[in-house]
Structure 1
Amino acid sequence: MPNSTSTTAGATASTSAGATVSTTAESSPPGASRRAGRKEWTAFTVLLLPLLLVSMDVSVLYFALPSISAELHPTATQQLWITDVYAFALAGLLITMGSLGDRIGRRKLLLFGAAAFGVASVTAAYATGAEMLIASRALLGIGGATLMPSTMGLVRTMFHDDKQRAQAVGIWSGAMAGGIALGSVLSGVMLEHLWWGSVFLVNVPAMVLLLVLTPILVPEFKDPAPGRFDVVSVPLSMGAVLPVVYGLKEFAADGFAWSYVVCVAVGLVLGTVFVRRQRTRGSALISRELFRPGRRFGAAISLNTIAAFAMMGSAYFTTQYLQSVLGMSTMRAALWSVAPSLAVGIAAPTASAVARKVDRAYVVAAGFVVAAAGYALLALSGTDSLVMVLAGAAVIGSGIVTVMALVSDMALTSAPVAKAGSAASLLETGQEFGGALGMAVLGSVGTAVYRADMPASAPAAARQTLGAAVAGADQGLSALARAAFVHGMQYATLGGTLVLVAAAVLAAGMLRGVGAAGTPAQGTGVQVPEAARGRVTEPAV
């Protein structure tokens, strides 16, 4: 066991005034770590701004696309890139930006990202052509990739107390989930009164506020000895992530095609090369320290990916159900989709409180079981089951946010303070993979059942998608298509239920003995190195 002598934790903290202090890891007992005060919680509130905006920008174009198409006249391919390039740039650069933030400073990277996000928002709002809008959306994705790991990494280094950090990560997870729903609603409301560019300009005041308040409230943290930056791994990481995410998303949207299989295969090959490089180089984008035995960081990444699989897999069906099965307008469907968020907002803090008293393995497993129950509710839905579908979405969201909050806190706590940005980027990259896989796998199951149920005499377009079927004038065909979609949803959600039950069993086994904040539960006999507990204190300057 380590002695009580403090050892260097491998991170530096700069005060807002510019002074630099070193953080140290102590073997102090639980409860001895410094608790965050008003300044830290105010800073955390400021850090929620970029998180909300980045997650909102995933869905903000849902309502704006018709207006953009009418004014900019993009081709079909350009319209797809307008929608997708943001998510692709975000996913492809998360690993790189997380590692870069650990090296140059998370606050510095956050400020760079905020400036880029603000500038890109203005250029997107006043884009004069499709090419300009695509470039602006790509820059927004690059800015988003700097903001997300920086905010979570800073949460790790600002909150030393286990209980407070768990609360902060729970709020962080809820805000991220809520931002996606809020984005579609906000864009719909703004487009009722303003032009399409206004959905981007809403980012600007928040970014200005972030640029002003962050240097005052948020301390700087970086790795003082990060080693040489591995430039070659940057394109390798992008080559590993982007083809897989693209192939899976297109597979979910258009069905099977060999070109999508090739994309995924290329990504997996490059991913293998990337992982091998990280394991063999002394200084790599992803630190091998994160995956040392006993940290359970890999387990947290895996479970978080499964949770994202379930979240996006259910969203694939519920959004179409509200609009195409129940016939709601886009705006009305978006407003109804916010209702489940009320339950989700309570789930994360409740789970964090329970996990302080109960073995975390059982709380995470319970979250998966709750989400499985929500999937079961979707499986029981018919063609006129608004309450059942909304209840299912609320139960799924509550269970998944419980899982995400707890495993995210565990992953950040187990990571060395100096590598918190890299740890956060891996968590978020796993979420991108899981979300794309959930839509591809469950969406494919639902689509296969839908196409099997549709009569051979139906028009080809109607047999391909529900949207094409209900857009036609044939009411009988529309009714058949709605029933076929619900039948496909029932099969897919039954499959999702089985996946989540298996995930619950997996979580109970992988995380057994993990107590509050990722440390061993009392009486388990499992020991974790002190450095893995993330206890840091800052000596007086």
Structure 2
Amino acid sequence: MSSANDAAGQPDSGPPPTAGRREWTALAILVLPTMLLFMMLTILFLAIPYLAADLEPSSTQTLWILDIYGFLMAGFLVLMGTMADRIGHRNLLIAGAAVFGVVSVAAATTEDPAMMIVWRAVLGLAGAAQVPATLGLIFTMFHDAKQRGVAIGAWAAGISGGVALGPLLSGLLLDAFSWRATFLVAVPVMAVVVIGAPLLLPKHQYAGGARLDFFSALLLLATMLPFIYGIKSIATGEELTLSLAAIAVGLLFGVIFVVRQLRACAPLLDIRLFGNRTVSGTLIVFVLAPTGIGGVYLMFSQFLQLVKDLSPIETGLAILPAALILIAVAAFSPILARRVRPGYIMATGLGVQVVGYLLLAQVGPGTGLPWLIASFIVIYPAVAPSMTLPNELIVSSVPPEKAGAASGLSSTVNDLGISLGVAIVGSIGVARYRSEIDGNLPGGLPADAAEAARDNLDGAVAAAGTLPAGTGDSLLRTARDAFASGLSAAATTAAVIAAVGALVAAIWLRHVPPTGQAAAGPAADPGDEAVRSGDTAGAKA
């Protein structure tokens, strides 16, 4: 096999084989579930008010219904990448798709908010099984560098498109059906994967892959969950001591995780990879880029619904132009990267994002819809290069037998960035909202209405509907002013994050040549070559 020869340092007998019609058709079987899996990160942004009305979860349960899917998927992606190498990428993809389809039906029919959290968690695990398997199969099917770049671009565009189109699809489903349809939409997609994968996808696995380290995966999850919970708790006004303790627990587990990886003979995550300048720099950009957009996206969609009074379908249509441009930019970025250094492309995109965030930071309750849509059109497509290019940069910097784990690592960082965005950037927006609304509430409000308004904008809107017209209108104006201030604070924070990411991409990754030249010469950075050689030696051992 060609990749095996490459890993062993033996010369190829000829040019790599090119992909044909079968491979390009099979690519659809890989892009389709990838798009759906990442769509599930945002599809509940518009549906959660309707789900909450039916299931009546507590505010804490609502938080976990939204977040547990992304947390579990991020926490187990690396482990699933290793599992894919051991049992076969196609086998794991089919198993994950089958579980995802069945559990989606269970989630759509549940009446218990606690069980909804459980089902969303299982969906996250099933999603984690599929993502590294899809990228590993792309590297198996596409040996020609240019064709592989196009295939990875389509795969990455599926990720970006899924995140982008989640609210639009949610709006369409809510308009025609109910929130339950946001889960059932996964069933036909996963059925296509289960039926089509055995017919179109090759069997592939690496013999003698690394052992499965479930304990390390649990440590990784134990690092993320308390840390992000602590950050969110600070914004929601819970006891500061408890919030700081949760953050400290997460950091402690993080230290234990790192120490375990450094001492392990076959680590779940090879910490030595961070000595590779390309890998470490790319991962920093990959986590910062979605961090900014994660929190702003959620608040922006809420602003359109609760401040501008748009329906779910109207909100989805308002976001659609930016989403379509993002998909186009995501598909074009790998092509451009053949001629222009990837670091410069990502830095330019993040710089454009800074401008868009600063435009959005000027928002107020009376801001017109054209300004809002235009600001988002500047912001959203500009993140595409930083979400599309890192996958190939990271995976191509490690030996072929580590492709599954490397793809899991890159996807973990991406998921973690989105989760951190909702936690950090979103929490800053919530904190500003609460500081603005405190002391500005109309006099004479019932205690329950005042408490609901302080909690979030949804509560203020609901409370305003139960009050006399004058008092209700005054409460609504105050809450909308406060939320606009919160969105402005979130956008300003995101601008700072994007600016840092742009600097890292421009400076740290300036040595990375265009992808069309990468295979033609030696590694541009000695540290990259040292890590690559060390990994290959370890693989041989």
Give TM-score, length-normalised by structure 2.
Answer: 0.85
Query: For residue 363 of structure 2, what is the aligned residue in structure 1?
Result: 381
Give the match's secondary structure for 2:315. Answer: helix
Q: Which of residues 482, 495, 498 is equivalent to 1:497?
A: 495
- More helix as a share of residues: 2
Q: What do residues 319-341 of structure 1 show as CA deviations (whole Å, max 9, x unaligned)?
A: 12212221222332223222211
| 1:423 and 2:423 aligned | no
User: Paired residue for 1:19?
Assistant: none
Partner of 2:291: 309
Residue 372 (structure 1) aligned to one of 354, 358, 374: 354
Partner of 1:223: 206
In the alignment, is the contact (CA less than 8 A) between 1:255 and 1:444 conserved in 2?
Answer: no
> For residues 492 and 45 of structure 1, do their structure 2 counterparts lie closer, same or farther at Cα, with a shift above 3 Å needed?
same
**Secondary structure in 2 matching 1:509:** helix
Contact 2:175 2:313 in 1 (8 A): no
Deviations 1:457-485 (A, max 9, x none): 51454345333344425323433433333
Deviates more, 1:369-378 or 1:86-95: 86-95
Identity of aligned residues (%): 35
Q: Does 1:338 align with 2:320?
A: yes
Give the distance between the partners of 1:144 and 1:420, measured in 2 at CA.
18
Structure 2 unaligned regions, length at least 5: 442-449, 465-470, 534-541
Structure 1 residue 46, shift from structure 2 partner: 0.8
Q: Could you tell me how far 1:81 is from its partner in structure 2?
A: 4.1
Which amino acid is 2:484 matched to? V
Match of 1:122 in 2: 105
Match of 1:538 in 2: none
Q: Distance in 2 between matches of 1:72 and 1:316?
A: 21
Which residue does the alignment assign to 1:13? none
Partner of residue 482, structure 2: 484
What is the CA distance between 1:213 and its match in structure 2?
Answer: 1.4
**In the alignment, which residue of structure 2 is the partner of 1:466?**
457
| Distance change in 2, residues 1:292/1:88 (3 Å) | closer
Contact 2:5 2:12 survives alignment (8 Å): no
One of 512, 515, 537 as aligned partner of 1:514: 512
Q: State the AA in 1 paired with 2:267.
A: A
Aligned CA distance change for structure 1 residues 317 and 231 (closer, same or farther; 3 Å): closer
Q: 1:392 to 1:27 in 2, by over 3 A?
A: farther
Residues 391-445 of structure 1, C-alpha deviation per residue, up to 9 Å, x if partnerless? 2222222221111111222112112221112112211221233223223333343
Report the more deviating stretch, 116-125 or 58-67: 58-67
Residue 137, structure 1, aligned to residue 120, structure 2: yes
Distance (Å, rounded) in 2 between the aligned partners of 1:196 and 1:358: 44
CA distance in 1, matches of 2:200, 2:37: 21
The residue type equivalent to 2:347 in the other structure is A
1: CA distance between counterparts of 2:350 and 2:191? 39
> Which residue of structure 1 lines up, in the alignment, with residue 25 of structure 2?
42
Name the CA distance, whole Å, in 1 between partners of 2:420 and 2:510: 27
Residue 493 of structure 1: how far off its partner (Å): 2.3
Root-mean-square deviation over aligned CA pairs: 3.2
Q: Check 1:242–1:445 CA distance in 2 against 1; reply closer, same or farther (3 A cut).
A: closer
Q: Per the alignment, in what secondary structure is the counterpart of residue 208 of structure 2? A: coil
Partners of 2:96 and 2:181 in 1: how far apart? 21
Contact 2:86-2:206 within 8 A present in 1 as well: yes
Gap change, CA 1:387 and 1:523, over 3 Å in 2: farther
Per-residue deviation, residues 188-236 of structure 1 (Å, max 9, x unmatched): 4334444554332222222121112112221233222224333432322
- 1:224 aligned counterpart, secondary structure: coil
Distance in 2 separating the partners of 1:203 and 1:397:
25
Over 3 Å counting, the alpha-carbon distance change for 1:43 and 1:226 in structure 2 is: same
Q: CA 1:44–1:264 in 2, change beyond 3 Å: closer, same or farther?
A: farther
Q: TM-score, normalised by structure 1?
A: 0.85
Structure 2 equivalent of residue 356 of structure 1: 338
SS of 1:58's equivalent?
coil
Q: Aligned AA for 2:481?
A: A
Is 1:111 matched with 2:94? yes
Q: 2: CA distance between counterparts of 1:522 and 1:252?
A: 50
Q: 2:349 & 2:479 partners in 1: Cα distance?
A: 34
The 5-angstrom pairing of residues 312-331 of structure 1 reads 312-331=294-313
1:378 to partner: Cα distance = 0.8
CA distance in 2, matches of 1:368, 1:134: 34
Please give the secondary structure, in 2, of the residue aligned with 1:226: coil
CA distance in 1, matches of 2:175, 2:486: 34
Q: CA deviation digits over 1:171-191, x for unaligned, max 9?
A: 222222222343333344334
How much does 1:48 deviate? Answer: 1.4
Give deviations 1:234-262, integer Å, cap 9, x for gaps.
32222223322433455556677433332
1:492 partner amino acid: A
Q: Using the TM superposition, give the Cα deviation of residue 9 of structure 1 relative to its aligned residue in structure 2, in angstroms.
A: 5.1
3-state SS of paired residue (1:272) = helix
Match of 2:468 in 1: none
Is the 1:245–1:432 contact (alpha carbons within 8 Å) kept by the matching residues of 2? no
Q: Is there any run of 5+ residues in structure 1 with no aligned partner, and where?
A: 11-23, 534-541
Tell me how far apart the structure 2 counterparts of residues 365 and 390 of structure 1 sit (CA, whole Å).
23
Task: Please list, as runs of the form range in 1=range in 2, the aligned pairs for 1:145-156 lying within 5 A after superposition.
Answer: 145-156=128-139
- Deviations along 1:54-85, one digit per CA (max 9) or x if unpaired, are 12223334555565556555555555444443
The CA distance in 2 between the partners of 1:80 and 1:439, in whole Å, is 11
Q: Which amino acid aligns with 2:512?
A: V
Which moves more between the two structures, 381-390 or 194-203?
Answer: 194-203
- Secondary structure of the residue aligned to 1:225 is coil
